[in-house]
């Protein structure tokens, strides 16, 4: 008998299974697979969270006014051009639903962040990938892929999982040559780790174009991943439409309070970023000395190749790190990246463990 079921209008997404085995040596498991910050929030941020959770019977402010005011002061932006959401992931989805539908093409760079295909799937758009060079976005390749159906271009700088980025001058060139009817989204989730005035330049692009949106997050440099809060900066004309697509109370009260406190603790964020960048450079040097190919990262995570440049040895490398040192890393399974693993840059003791375990792995081959 044929079973009659409702017709879904979205392709199913298989959620990847995480490591379910017990660590064989009984070591503590250190999860380096989510590009998180290893430092806990500092006391004033924790105090802001606790203060809010004591009043959890009240909703958070739906338009996140105080967060927007704090962001506007911190980054010298117009608060009326900012929208706060449940992580920048939610805002990428909001943008996708506003600017693309089943007639659209969504353009991304070849190894672009996994959420971009997920958003394209949700809205039924056709995903178009522009080829990269050395795991890095190529602006001319993106421009060559533009068609009359391209409605949205998502670009993460630095990108996840590659960790690479292109200079601000290249994004400016992209902005100049891209037809103005295409929404260009610049995802700066990791930009604090890239240093310099990159973010300021990207915000200036928003202010000088009607089609550019910048997304940012408190999950990475600010270390608030578990609370889920991110934001976007868009031209004023887009804001009411973006609100129409966003849930009403998506950024919870504790996340809002924590974000404001984190912005007040600028020095602590800067110190954390400096430590991660120093460790990133130290790990890169150590792994290169072991003969491991390291893709130059501008973020708080790194993508490195397996010794034989094969998916099989990447699987063995990830299994070795778990079995030998209790380190959980991410196997990049995207087409063309199967021979890499990706891991967060963590505390020096965790990073030492990673370097030592990889040295043993290489030596055992």
Ligand X SMILES: Cc1ncc(COP(=O)(O)O)c(C=O)c1O
Q: Which is nearer to ligand X, 89 or 105 (CB)?
A: 89
Least distance from ligand X to the Cβ atom of residue 331, Å: 16
Residue 211 engages ligand X in binding (rule: CB under 6 A): no
Using rule CB under 6 A, residue 109 touches ligand X: no
Q: Which is nearer to ligand X, 156 or 318 (CB)?
A: 156
Binding ligand X (rule: CB under 6 A), the pick from 33, 35, 256, 313 is 35
Closest residue to ligand X in the complex (CB): 87
Nearer residue to ligand X within complex by CB, 118 or 138:
118
* Binder among 38, 96, 230, 326 for ligand X (CB under 6 A): 230
332 scored as a contact of ligand X (CB under 6 A): no
Handedness of CA 174, 180, 183, 186 (dihedral sign): positive
- Is residue 217 a contact point for ligand X (CB under 6 A)? yes
Size of site (CB under 6 A) for ligand X: 13
Our finding on whether 198 is near ligand X (CB under 6 A) is: no
The reply to whether 88 sits near ligand X by the rule CB under 6 A is yes
CA distances from 320 to 25, 128, 357 (A): 12, 36, 8
Is residue 267 a contact partner of residue 124, using CB atoms and an 8 Å limit? no
Q: Single out the segment in contact with ligand X by CB under 6 A; choices: 83-91, 195-203, 259-267, 311-319.
A: 83-91
Query: Is 337 near ligand X (CB under 6 A)?
Result: no
Cis peptide before 159 (omega within 30 of 0): no
Pairing of strands 301-305, 294-295: antiparallel
The verdict on 154 binding ligand X (CB under 6 A) reads no
Q: Is residue 87 involved in binding ligand X (CB under 6 A)?
A: yes
In this structure, the chain runs to a length of 365
Asked whether the beta carbons of 185 and 153 are under 8 A apart, the reply is: yes
User: Minimum CB separation from ligand X for residue 94, in Å?
Assistant: 12
Of the listed pieces 82-90, 201-209, 237-245, 253-261, which binds ligand X according to CB under 6 A?
82-90
Which 269-328 positions form the footprint of ligand X (CB under 6 A)? none
Distance between CA atoms of residues 223 and 216, nearest Å: 13
- Residue 105 in contact with ligand X, rule: CB under 6 A: no
Binder among 93, 132, 151, 187 for ligand X (CB under 6 A):
187
CB of 360 to ligand X, least distance (A): 29
Closer Cβ to ligand X, 245 or 319, answer by number:
245
Binding residues for ligand X (CB under 6 A): 35, 87-89, 113, 156, 160, 187, 189, 217, 219, 225, 230
């Amino acid at each position: 008998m044929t079973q009659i079921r409702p017709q879904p209008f979205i392709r199913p997404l298989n959620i990847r299974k995480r490591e379910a085995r017990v660590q064989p040596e009984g070591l503590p498991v250190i999860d380096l697979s989510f590009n998180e910050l290893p430092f806990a929030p500092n006391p004033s941020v924790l105090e802001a969270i606790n203060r809010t959770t004591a009043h959890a019977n009240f909703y958070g402010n739906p338009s996140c006014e105080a967060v927007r005011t704090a962001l506007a002061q911190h980054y010298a932006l117009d608060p009326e051009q900012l929208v706060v959401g449940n992580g920048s992931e939610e805002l990428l989805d909001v943008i996708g639903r506003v600017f693309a539908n089943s007639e659209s093409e969504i353009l991304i760079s070849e190894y672009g962040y996994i959420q971009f295909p997920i958003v394209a799937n949700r809205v039924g758009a056709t995903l178009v990938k522009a080829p990269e060079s050395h795991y890095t976005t190529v602006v001319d390749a993106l421009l060559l892929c533009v068609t009359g159906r391209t409605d949205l271009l998502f670009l993460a700088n630095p990108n996840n999982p590659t960790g690479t980025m292109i200079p601000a001058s290249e994004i400016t060139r992209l902005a100049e040559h891209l037809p103005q009817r295409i929404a260009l989204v610049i995802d700066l989730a990791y930009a604090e780790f890239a240093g310099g005035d990159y973010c300021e330049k990207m915000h200036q692009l928003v202010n000088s174009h009607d089609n550019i949106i910048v997304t940012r997050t408190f999950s990475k440099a600010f270390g608030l991943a578990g609370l889920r809060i991110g934001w976007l900066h868009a031209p004023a004309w887009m804001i009411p439409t973006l609100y129409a697509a966003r849930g009403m109370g998506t950024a919870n009260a504790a996340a809002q309070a924590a974000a404001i406190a984190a912005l007040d603790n600028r020095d602590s964020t800067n110190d954390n970023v400096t430590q991660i960048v120093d460790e990133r450079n130290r790990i890169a040097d150590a792994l290169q000395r072991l003969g491991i190919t390291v893709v130059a990262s501008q973020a708080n995570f790194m993508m490195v190749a397996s010794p034989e440049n094969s998916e099989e040895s990447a699987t063995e490398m990830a299994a070795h790190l778990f079995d030998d040192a209790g380190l959980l890393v991410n196997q990049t399974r995207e087409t063309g990246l199967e021979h890499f693993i990706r891991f967060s840059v963590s505390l020096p003791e965790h990073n030492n463990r990673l370097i030592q375990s990889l040295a043993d792995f290489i030596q055992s081959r």
